[in-house]
Structure 1
Amino acid sequence: MTLITKGVGLFSTEPVQNMCQYVTLAEELGYRNVWFGDSQNIWRESSIVMGASAVGTKRIVFGTGVTNAVTRHRSLLASTWATLSEFTGGRVALGIGTGDSSLRTMGLKPLRLAELEQAISELRALFRGEKVVEAVSGVAFHLNYVREPIPVPIYIAASAPKILELAGRVADGVIALVGTAPQFIEAALARIEAGARASGRCLGDLDVVLWTPTAINDDSDEAKDLVRAHVARVVIRPLPAAVSESQQAAIDRIRQSYDYYHHMDTEADHADLVSDELVDLFALAGTPAECRVRLKQIAEHGVDQVSIVPFVRPGQSKAPTLRAFAEIAGEI
């Protein structure tokens, strides 16, 4: 069976001190990565949370799940990640996408794929200490304090087929939000591999992270209820594999009602449109025994890391989910 590492995606819906405690616990439990959501209008500032959480850590790798190159000018992105890399001794992984709730809550449009690719190229140039040209002013700029190249791996968040291929072609890793059912994982890996081959690489040259909405509870129904909002977020994007007519009809209803100001909010109205059938396709939710079976299935399909996004009721701690998943993963 394929060995997978553990990651956790955290959204800063709680004070910074709480987020720091989650990171400390994740490191103690053997998680490799912690990925922080970056959506300035609905969560606390990711760069501050990552910097604060890094204090006192020794091993865990800090990333965004994920940032964008619109609200974050690439000069700001490059400076943030160069500084965080310096502070943590290189324990960073820049997760980036075309832009989602950070843009849509202000009526802005996500980047086109060509624009995302250009942004990544310019970020890498800045990390090498080179100059790039600012798109509006036409003025060349660089990071003045970079004296030698800073190795910052770049992961692309991807769901739809075209961006999965782009990630395979240009990224160091992929944060794949495609579901947990075998047909979706296999279809996504095929697209990533096609992109990798286009750049003279193979699938094994990339680190593939499966972004996984997760709730582990002795009450299976409660666990499923907790992840419905995140499943809604998954299915509003194009999927790498086909679904049944009834499933597609349900997905169409979700797409029509999705509210980005309640992005991944367990109490969101659009969560009520997500059936148990969709939950089983796109999440890791159920009793510890049920989640153990599903995780074994996931581990057999070639991803390098399962990064859980733990969901609990408002006011509850995510620590029990972190512990429960670590225990289950340790048995795989």
Structure 2
Amino acid sequence: MFSKGVGLFPTEPVGVIRDYTLLAESLGYDNVWFGDSQNIWRESSITMGAAAVGTERVVLGTGVTNAVTRHRSLLASTWASLAEFTGGRVALGIGTGDSSLRTMGRKPLTLAQLERAVAELRTLLRGEPVREADSGAEFHLSYLTEPVDVPIYIAASAPKILRLAGRIADGVIVLVGTAPEFVTAALDTVEQGARESGRRLADLHIVLWTPTAIDEDPVRARDLARAHVARVCIRPLPAEVDPSLRAAIDRIRDSYDYYHHMDTEAGHADIVPDALVDLFALAGSPDQCRDRLAGLAKSGVDQVSIVPFVRPGESRAATIRTFAELADQR
């Protein structure tokens, strides 16, 4: 069994994203995750604040932010404020940095830098001071009167960061596709990290980040998911891809355009073969997706969080509704 989540990239106006959030809550989704990439999408913190208005139950999080474009003082203050406003219904999803940095020619954080950022965020959310890396000055959130409990999730695909997430995070946003061999390998690696900190896999909340397109025409569905699959498959992964697909992955890596990150009409999406879509997405007819979900229910993840893809100009609401129906039929 798993809970339902939805990842929303703010490609549409803030009011539309808020409507999707209210819809997700009404359909029993447990989490709504908001993409953070300031050069290609609307501002995530404003979107989350607006989306929180009128919600009562759903947990709001980033899928995901970073500690480069967001100084940790800003991150800590954002999440302390959002936690206060929502009564603690928050989940801070963070990674090393992807399109938010790549679109400016900046490099992602190292794993050591990410680990330090997570530790400092927790210190700040306890109301304690940390030292600014460049100036050497201490700073803290002066308005906190007590510690703020904000679960920190790390987004991970490659083995090293999966293991780090298992060791230090409260939850893991796993981006490795939907094929059993990749999901199992990812969870095994997270568990190795968890054991290093005296924990078990069950002590972490595991979110399977799932590019999703559901259409009566499975060919159309696959086409819509190709752009996100392109981003998944060019990352290091916890299991080996079939050698026959490596040449295709190399071509995708060479042509990937971060200004068309997750864009269904991106040029790099056109060269993603069906075999990769089937490994790394939930894409097909409703019946096909229901069958895939039956397999994911046995995978050991706590949540399947869909990233709905539709044709340009179409609403994501139908996919959000359909997935809720399919998941509830398990």
TM-score w.r.t. structure 1 length?
A: 0.99
Partner of 2:178, secondary structure, is: coil
Structure 2: distance between partners of 1:247 and 1:143: 49
| Match runs of 1:111-122 below 5 Å | 111-122=109-120
Among 190, 195, 198, the alignment partner of 1:197 is 195
Q: Is 1:5 matched with 2:3? A: yes
Among 6, 9, 12, the alignment partner of 1:14 is 12
Structure 2: distance between partners of 1:120 and 1:174: 13
Give per-residue Cα distances to partners, 1:190-227, cap 9 Å, x unaligned: 00000000000000000000000000100100000000
Q: Which residue of 2 aligns with 1:271?
A: 269
Partner of 1:40, secondary structure, is: coil
Structure 1: distance between partners of 2:15 and 2:242: 44
Q: Which residue of 2 aligns with 1:171?
A: 169
Structure 1: distance between partners of 2:234 and 2:274: 17
Structure 1: distance between partners of 2:159 and 2:309: 27
Give per-residue Cα distances to partners, 1:35-65, cap 9 Å, x unaligned: 0000000000000000001001000000000
Q: Which residue of 1 aligns with 2:238?
A: 240
| Match runs of 1:164-313 below 5 Å | 164-313=162-311
Give per-residue Cα distances to partners, 1:53-106, cap 9 Å, x unaligned: 100100000000000000000000000000000000000000000000000000
Q: Could you tell me which amino acid in structure 2 is paired with residue 305 of structure 1?
A: Q
Q: Is 1:106 matched with 2:104? A: yes
* Offset, 1:238: 0.3
Structure 2: distance between partners of 1:160 and 1:330: 31
Partner of 2:225, secondary structure, is: helix
TM-score w.r.t. structure 2 length?
A: 1.00
Q: Could you tell me which amino acid in structure 2 is paired with residue 172 of structure 1?
A: D
* Offset, 1:302: 0.1
Q: Is 1:319 matched with 2:317? A: yes
| C-alpha RMSD of the superposition | 0.4
Among 38, 41, 44, the alignment partner of 1:40 is 38
Partner of 2:41, secondary structure, is: coil
Structure 2: distance between partners of 1:212 and 1:56: 27
Q: Which residue of 2 aligns with 1:139?
A: 137
Q: Could you tell me which amino acid in structure 2 is paired with residue 90 of structure 1?
A: G
* Offset, 1:147: 1.0
Structure 2: distance between partners of 1:164 and 1:78: 23
Identity of aligned residues (%): 73
Q: Could you tell me which amino acid in structure 2 is paired with residue 288 of structure 1?
A: P
Runs (5+) with no aligned partner, structure 2: none
Structure 2: distance between partners of 1:45 and 1:60: 20
State the 4+ residue runs in structure 1 displaced beyond 6 angstroms: none
Structure 2: distance between partners of 1:119 and 1:228: 33
Q: Could you tell me which amino acid in structure 2 is paired with residue 71 of structure 1?
A: T
* Offset, 1:299: 1.0
* Offset, 1:243: 1.2
